[in-house]
């Protein structure tokens, strides 16, 4: 199981209201007890934090808010001593506008080679006042920002598929390629077991930067999933494989077509990629069944394990998402004020935890999901930081609501996040203490206890360690599958109880099981 740490919000050792690496190190026993095999850290590098660290100013330095390089080295070593590996986040599509390359490029004249590491272009129109293309940013708004000279005279435009503080790199430039390879080695040499690759399908661009057409043949879109992007990962795979203990490449690849997705998982490319098809699927029996089936079919042709992901630092927390009328996830559909039944969402999120932990492949858990944290939807406007919110003109709630600092203690300052009275960087809701680790750990009915027990069984049950999987017949609204010889997972998507299939014992249930009936919105693992 790979556990995702959002360092800013995990634990704050120096008491300044921002999580840090020493905070994570102090909580390694908690992570070991949960049964973590590896930690994936969202970017911890020096960054102005215009996009939660996905705007990197220096890949070889830790952001002072999080600690030092020595802290990172100690954390990697201490985690390894507990059998926990470390995965760092690599952000190759763009850098921070404060990265020395971009600072140099901005200071240079149009046509200067310093600008070639990015996408600088003259504007259209009589005086260059129109952006070179009408593309839309992943964070809404334009993908181009116009530069100005020291005297304020408007100049060229530069491309940013995300926020304007995140200029896109030109991957046709040999120095861009070389620098990232050096950064990979830098972290591998410091003991990182792998990298999570941000926006992995967006690096390659058509150098002509043409306007978008109605339809693009696969591999020819101007800035998404171009065929030549695979050359980058083939080179990276060679570097990963050159280590005595080969390092792992994990892709953030958002693509609707399975056929295009699995190309990133060919033998000489990445080891795995996040399963966003599953993560965005609605909590509905046939949709989930179909996503699982598609996942298996897609991975059949490649030597990469399927992955199971319920959320991450970009996604509405499952407890909230599954409590809504529309339980699917779509960035474009996020709005304020969507009614949510949190009790229902929690029942479903607990069932989803058992479902994903029972599937063969690699399981990812985002920090706080093991506590059943809901999305914090009522953050004060002034506290919101996410460019997705601000660039949408305030219509998109953004992603701050799943990034609120974790509650460790029932009471006390910051619910134990800092242990000091410092204001956390995002405010915690008044009832946050009821979700705290302290409040849940002694309670066998808590979500934390459910996760701990499910993850323990996932490690100890032979049936769950293998890859054997078969659907079992079940009534409408119920999913059932067999793992190995003797384990069955049953998920009831309906609201009424259903009969469990014959079994010798119930190993674990997401809700209390009375007799041989599985309650509605619940899952169970059976010894069969």
Least Å distance between CB 272 and ligand NOJ? 16
Q: Closer CB to ligand NOJ, residue 188 or residue 366?
A: 366
Q: Is the separation of the CB atoms in 469 and 481 below 8 Å?
A: yes
Phi and psi at residue 433, in whole multiples of 5°? -60, -25
Q: Do residues 41 and 88 touch, judged by C-beta distance below 8 A? A: yes
Nearest-approach distance from CB 168 to ligand NOJ, in angstroms? 11
* φ, ψ of residue 286 in degrees (nearest 5): -70, -35
Shortest reach from residue 190's CB to ligand NOJ, in Å: 22
Rank residues 158 and 493 by Cβ distance to ligand NOJ and give the closer one.
158
Q: How far is the CB of 322 from ligand NOJ (least distance, A)?
A: 21
Q: Based on CB atoms, which residue is closest to ligand NOJ, 252 or 375?
A: 252
Looking at 54, 451, 469, 525, which residue binds ligand NOJ (CB under 6 A)? Answer: 54
CB of 380 to ligand NOJ, least distance (A): 22
Instruction: Copy the structure tokens of residue 190.
Output: 């410091």
Shortest-Cβ-distance residue relative to ligand NOJ = 54
State which of positions 231-260 bind ligand NOJ (CB under 6 A).
252
Q: Which of 455, 96, 74, 481 is nearest to 285 (CA)?
A: 481
Which residue stretch of 48-56, 115-123, 140-148, 473-481 sits at the interface with ligand NOJ (rule: CB under 6 A)? Answer: 48-56
For residues 198 to 227, the per-residue mask of contacts with ligand NOJ, x marking binding by CB under 6 A and - elsewhere, is: xx----------------------------
Query: Rounded to the nearest whole angstrom, what is the least distance from the CB of residue 457 to ligand NOJ in the complex?
Result: 30
Binding characters for ligand NOJ, 65-94, by CB under 6 A (x = yes): --------------------------x---
Classify 348 as helix, strand or coil: helix
Q: Which stretch binds ligand NOJ (CB under 6 A): 17-25, 50-58, 337-345, 351-359?
A: 50-58
CA distances from 286 to 276, 299, 303, 474 (A): 17, 20, 27, 12
Give the span between the Cα atoms of 447 and 201, in whole angstroms.
Answer: 35
Return the residues of window 141-200 that contact ligand NOJ according to CB under 6 A: 162, 198-199
- For residue 235, the minimal CB distance to ligand NOJ (Å) is 21
Interface pick for ligand NOJ out of 20, 51, 71, 400 (rule CB under 6 A): 51
Choose between 91 and 355: whose C-beta lies nearer to ligand NOJ: 91
Which residue in 483, 476, 469 sits closest to 498, CA to CA? 476
91 vs 526, beta carbon nearer ligand NOJ = 91
Beta bridge partners of 148: 154
Question: Which residues, including other chains, have CB under 8 Å from residue 497's CB and lie 6 or more apart?
Answer: 514, 517, 518, 519, 520
Contacts of 103 (CB under 8 A, 6+ apart): 97
> Is-contact 84 38, C-beta < 8 A?
yes
- How many whole angstroms separate alpha carbon 427 and alpha carbon 385? 12
334: closest CA among 351, 356, 316, 311?
Answer: 316
184 and 239 Cβ atoms separated by less than 8 Å: yes
Count the alpha carbons within 13 Å of 292 in the hemisphere toward its beta carbon: 22
Judged by CB, which is closer to ligand NOJ: 58, or 516? 58
Rule CB under 6 A: say whether 363 interacts with ligand NOJ: no
Terminal CA-CA length for the chain:
25
How far is it, in rounded angstroms, from Cα 308 to Cα 316? Answer: 16
> At closest approach, how far in Å is the CB of 200 from ligand NOJ?
9
Can you tell me which of 314, 396, 400, 461 binds ligand NOJ, judged by CB under 6 A?
Answer: 314
Stretch that binds ligand NOJ, among 46-54, 230-238, 348-356, 510-518 (CB under 6 A): 46-54
Q: Minimum distance from CB of 198 to ligand NOJ (Å)?
A: 5
Q: To the nearest 10°, the Cα dihedral for 101, 107, 113, 116?
A: 60
User: Among 224, 109, 116, 121, which residue's Cα sits nearest to residue 170?
Assistant: 116
Give the helix/strand (H/E) hosting 61.
strand 58-62
Residue 447 backbone phi and psi in degrees, to 5: -65, -35
Q: How far is the CB of 212 from ligand NOJ (least distance, A)?
A: 20
Q: How far is the CB of 160 from ligand NOJ (least distance, A)?
A: 10
User: Please, what is the minimum distance in Å from the beta carbon of residue 37 to ligand NOJ?
Assistant: 21
Nearer to ligand NOJ, 27 or 403 (CB): 403
- Kindly tell me which of 252 and 461 has the beta carbon lying closer to ligand NOJ: 252
> Per CB under 6 A, which region of 19-27, 51-59, 224-232, 279-287 contacts ligand NOJ?
51-59
Interaction with ligand NOJ in 496-525: which residues (CB under 6 A)? Answer: none
| Choices 32-40, 47-55, 351-359, 360-368 (CB under 6 A): range interacting with ligand NOJ | 47-55
- φ, ψ for residue 5 (rounded to 5)? -105, 130
Q: If you ran DSSP here, which 8-state letter would residue 330 be given?
A: -
Binding footprint of ligand NOJ on the chain (CB under 6 A): 51-52, 54, 91, 162, 198-199, 252, 313-314
């Amino acid at each position: 199981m790979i556990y995702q740490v959002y360092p800013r919000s995990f634990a704050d050792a120096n008491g300044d209201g921002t999580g840090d690496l020493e905070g994570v190190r102090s909580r390694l026993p908690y992570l070991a007890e949960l049964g973590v095999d590896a930690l994936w850290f969202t970017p911890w590098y020096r960054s102005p934090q215009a996009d939660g660290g996905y705007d990197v100013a220096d890949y070889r330095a830790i952001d002072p808010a999080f600690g030092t390089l020595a802290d990172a080295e100690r954390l990697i070593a201490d985690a390894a001593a507990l059998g926990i590996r470390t995965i760092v986040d690599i952000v190759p599509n763009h850098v921070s506008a404060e990265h020395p390359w971009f600072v140099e490029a901005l200071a240079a004249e149009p046509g200067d080679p310093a600008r070639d590491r990015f996408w600088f272009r003259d504007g259209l129109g009589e005086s260059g006042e129109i952006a070179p293309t009408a593309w839309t940013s992943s964070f809404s708004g334009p993908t181009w920002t116009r530069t100005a000279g020291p005297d304020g005279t408007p100049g060229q435009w530069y491309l940013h598929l995300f926020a304007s503080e995140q200029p896109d790199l030109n991957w046709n430039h040999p120095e861009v390629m070389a620098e990232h390879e050096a950064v990979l080695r830098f972290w591998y040499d410091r003991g990182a077991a792998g990298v999570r690759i941000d926006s992995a399908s967006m690096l390659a661009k058509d150098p002509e930067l043409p306007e978008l057409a109605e339809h693009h043949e696969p591999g020819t879109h101007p800035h998404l999933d171009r065929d030549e992007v695979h050359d980058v990962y083939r080179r990276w795979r060679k570097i990963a494989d050159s280590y005595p203990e080969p390092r792992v490449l994990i892709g953030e690849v958002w693509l609707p077509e399975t056929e295009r997705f699995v190309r990133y998982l060919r033998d000489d490319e990445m080891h795995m990629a996040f399963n966003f098809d599953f993560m965005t699927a609605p909590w509905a029996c046939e949709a989930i069944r179909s996503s699982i089936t598609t996942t298996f079919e897609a991975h059949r042709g490649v030597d990469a394990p399927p992955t199971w992901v319920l959320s991450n630092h970009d996604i509405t927390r499952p407890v909230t998402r599954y409590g809504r009328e529309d339980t699917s996830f779509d960035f474009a559909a996020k709005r304020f004020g969507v009614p949510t039944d949190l009790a229902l969402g929690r029942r479903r999120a607990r069932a989803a935890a058992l479902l994903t932990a029972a599937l063969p492949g690699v399981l990812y858990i985002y920090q706080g999901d093991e506590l059943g944290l809901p999305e914090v939807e009522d953050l004060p406007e002034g506290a919101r930081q996410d460019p997705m919110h601000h660039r949408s003109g305030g219509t998109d709630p953004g992603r701050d609501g799943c990034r609120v600092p974790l509650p460790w203690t029932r009471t006390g300052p910051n619910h134990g996040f800092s242990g000091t009275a410092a204001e956390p960087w995002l405010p915690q809701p008044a009832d946050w203490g009821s979700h705290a680790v302290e409040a849940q750990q002694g309670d066998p009915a808590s979500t934390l206890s459910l996760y701990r027990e499910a993850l323990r069984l996932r490690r100890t049950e032979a049936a769950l360690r293998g890859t054997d999987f078969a659907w079992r017949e079940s009534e409408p609204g119920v999913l059932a599958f067999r793992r190995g010889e003797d384990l069955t997972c049953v998920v009831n998507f309906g609201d009424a109880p259903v009969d469990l299939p014959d079994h010798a014992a119930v190993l674990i249930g997401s809700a209390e099981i009375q007799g041989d009936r599985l309650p509605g919105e619940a899952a169970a693992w059976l010894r069969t």
